Amino acid sequence: MQSMDGKLVISDVSGPFREPREPVFSYDYSIQRSTWSTPHGVRVKISIPDELDVLKARLLGPSTGSPGQQLMTNKILSRTIADWKVRIAEAEGMLAARRDVMVAPFVGPLANLFVKLEGLFEADQAAIREDIRKRVGI
């Protein structure tokens, strides 16, 4: 992916990782702008009880399925949430500087950003539900 206008380009994503001593999943993004000489890392944390479980319950209701289906559902939804959080962080100017960044869960001091996360969720929930139905069978 190339950009000549300084726009954010995501070159790689890895995860999810289960953070020790925290109820979160995290993803590591490698981001680049044409004005930067090297890519920079962004770790995006998704709170399991405050973000993932809340949006999953809204999306699927009291979810059923095998442990494997639950694992795949969590993986799909947590990656989608992480991608949304990168978009929100970029819009908020959190990724403008050339440095490694950690995007924390949208609770506590960042709780005001959860509303923006909900907005993206509302706009995309039908597509996500269909993706989960096709890939997981729930």
pLDDT tens, 98-134? 777 899 999 999 999 999 999 999 999 999 999 999 9
Residue environment code for 22-33, b if the CB has 16+ CB neighbours within 10 A, otherwise e: eebbbbebebbb
pLDDT > 90: percent of the chain: 72
- Give the mean pLDDT of 17-26: 94
Domain count, the chain: 1
pLDDT category at 14 given cuts 50, 70, 90 is very high
pLDDT on residue 7: 85
The confidence band for 1, taking pLDDT boundaries of 50, 70 and 90, is: very low
Residue 1 falls within a domain, yes or no?
Answer: no
Looking at residue 8, the DSSP 8-state letter turns out to be: -
- 3-class secondary-structure state, position 117: helix
Q: Looking at the domain assignment, is residue 67 inside a domain?
A: yes
**Which residues on neighbouring strands pair with residue 17, listed in sequence order?**
26
Q: Classify residue 103: in a domain, yes or no.
A: yes
Domain assignment present for residue 49? The answer is yes
pTM for the full predicted model: 0.91
Nearest C-alpha neighbor of 98 from the set 11, 14, 12, 6: 6
User: Tell me: the pLDDT tens digits for 38-50?
Assistant: 889 999 999 999 9
Could you count the other beta carbons within 10 Å of the beta carbon of residue 130?
10
Contact 32, 9 (CB under 8 A): yes
Query: 42-62 as b/e, with b when 16 or more CB fall inside 10 Å?
Result: bbbbbbbebbbebbbeebbee
Residue 83 domain boundaries: 9-136
Whether residue 98 is contained in a domain is answered as yes
